[in-house]
Structure 1
């Protein structure tokens, strides 16, 4: 998985550097005529958690956690579509988090992927499954004059359900510790009136 942020996302980033992701079209069984039919992978759709500035911390936390969940969904969609179009991330992320996930998409689309034999395989990889973020707590802070415009959400990022295959069909090297504690920073963009994940910081511990 190709992801990097502030302190490291050590387990993720190190793993990321060696593991490209993606998923292409799925092939159905033969049609009655004997000709195979191909179902194209849906194009990722961009969306955002939007609305007016939060009225209190509870509302801000609810919107922030929904934004993180949406980011995980967009990551799964972009990965499954081959990582060639990272623009949907712009509706759910900004700053270092946006750079982080765009780099992930580039790794999926272009490789190389470090496989289970320790070899770098050039070309696009394929990805099945998705990341899962489990929030542990959350609290709001002022951001650019907006009360609770920044929400900090410590939690567990689980990479165990994301299966990566290199371009040559070999399995990508797996992270031996796929569950890592991270801290998500989510901000309210007053100009666009949307919530965006601004950073994803590794806490250097497993969960």
Structure 2
């Protein structure tokens, strides 16, 4: 692999494609020995679904929830070593799906540059999550659905996602981890599911 291709691969991970992540868990109350029944654990949603949006406000709410779910899904996949990226199919499509799948592949197998600039093969360790801070949002018609496309500009913060390469060293980090991006979220009328289908870098920091 040429040095240019290696640097390109790292940049995608560091920006988080840039890619993108934080893993959170919910612990239920501890049962009393011998007497308490197991407490049901709430199941986190794997996708944002429902009927077509009634208005722009509803579409924007669903789009923002979809972006948050995508980043949470990435955090879980990355924390597990990136070996199973199938959960992305429930929350992303098109260009975004491909980018996030490629991020998982880099996490699971490499190569990723470490802080010394060495290209490291093998599985990396990931902690934390990308954080998206929306600034505004607006809906547009998409495949006959009013507000079926929602465009959400904002700031993507990669400073909380930490990667350790397979040699135990920190991965090389983007010196400017906060960048302006624009997420595009679509409503699939056939499956009644919201999906992130694009994320555009606006070329500026935030």
Please give the TM-score of this superposition, normalised by the length of structure 2: 0.81
Alignment partner of 1:49 is 2:48? yes
SS in structure 1 at match of 2:88: helix
- How far apart are residue 17 of structure 1 and its match? 9.0
Structure number having the greater strand percentage: 1
Structure 2 counterpart of 1:84: 83
Give the secondary structure class of the aligned counterpart of 2:59: helix
Match of 1:119 in 2: 118
Q: Residues 52 and 22 from structure 1, CA distance in 2 versus in 1: closer, same or farther, beyond 3 angstroms?
A: closer
Structure 2 unmatched runs, 5+? 1-7, 23-43
- Structure 1: gaps (5+ residues): 1-8, 24-44
What is the SS of the residue equivalent to 2:159?
A: coil
1:14 to 1:105, Cα distance in 2 relative to 1, 3 A: closer
Q: Deviation of residue 82 (structure 1)?
A: 0.6
Q: Give, in angstroms, the shift of residue 13 of structure 1.
A: 2.4
Q: What is the RMSD of the two structures over their aligned residues, measured on CA atoms?
A: 2.7
Distance 1:150 1:18 in 2: 22
- Paired with 2:17 and 2:114, the residues of 1 have a C-alpha distance of 7
User: Where does residue 107 of structure 1 map in the other structure?
Assistant: 106
The structure-2 alpha-carbon separation of the partners of 1:21 and 1:94, relative to structure 1 and needing over 3 Å to count, comes to closer
Task: Tell me which moved more, 10-19 or 160-169.
Answer: 10-19
Deviations 1:103-133 (A, max 9, x none): 0000000101101100001111100001101
Alignment partner of 1:178 is 2:193: no
Identify the residue that residue 58 of structure 2 maps to in structure 1.
59
Contact 1:157 1:180 in 2 (8 A): yes
Q: When the two structures are aligned, how many residues end up with a matched partner?
A: 179
